[in-house]
C-alpha cells in the first residue's frame, strides 16, 4: 500500500538531487533550477502530509511556496543578469572577490 512514507522518501530524493545540483553545478541557471527542485520537494512533502492528516492547510501552504518560488526565480534571474554584466559569464565559481 502506498503510504505517506513513500511520498516522504520521494521528496527526500528530489531534495537530495536539488542539493547535489546546488553543490556541483557551475552554471548559474542550473543553480536556480536546483533551487526550484528543492522547493518542489518540500511541496511534495507538504501535500503528502496534508492528505495523511486530512488537513487542507498543507495544500494551501504548498500554493504559497509555489508563489514564493516564482518570486524568487524572478529575483534570481535579475541577479544572474547582474552577474553576467560584472563577471562576463554565468559560471558561479568565477566570482570569488568576497573572500579574505
Q: Which residues are at the interface with another protein (CB under 8 A)?
A: 3-5, 8-9, 12-13, 15-17, 19-20, 22-26, 51-57, 59-60, 63-64, 67-68, 70-72, 74-75, 77-79, 81-82, 85, 92-93, 95-100
Least distance (Å) between residue 33 CB and another protein: 13
Cα separation, 23 vs 52, in Å, equals: 32
Cα separation, 53 vs 33, in Å, equals: 30
Least distance (Å) between residue 6 CB and another protein: 9
Judged by beta carbon, residue 17 or residue 33, the one nearer another protein is: 17
Q: Which single residue is written with the C-alpha cell 545540483? A: 21
Judged by beta carbon, residue 88 or residue 98, the one nearer another protein is: 98
CA 92 to the chain's CA centroid: 17
Least distance (Å) between residue 39 CB and another protein: 14
Angstrom CA distances, 52 to 45, 58, 78, stand at 11, 10, 39
Amino acid at each position: 500500500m502506498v503510504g505517506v512514507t513513500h511520498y516522504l522518501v520521494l521528496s527526500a530524493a528530489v531534495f537530495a538531487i536539488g542539493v547535489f545540483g546546488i553543490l556541483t553545478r557551475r552554471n548559474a541557471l542550473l543553480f536556480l533550477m536546483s533551487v526550484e527542485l528543492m522547493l518542489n520537494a518540500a511541496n511534495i512533502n507538504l501535500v503528502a502530509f496534508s492528505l495523511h492528516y486530512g488537513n487542507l492547510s498543507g495544500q494551501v501552504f504548498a500554493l504559497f511556496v509555489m508563489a514564493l518560488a516564482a518570486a524568487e526565480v524572478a529575483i534570481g534571474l535579475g541577479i544572474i543578469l547582474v552577474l553576467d554584466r560584472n563577471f562576463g559569464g554565468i559560471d558561479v565559481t568565477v566570482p570569488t572577490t568576497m573572500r579574505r
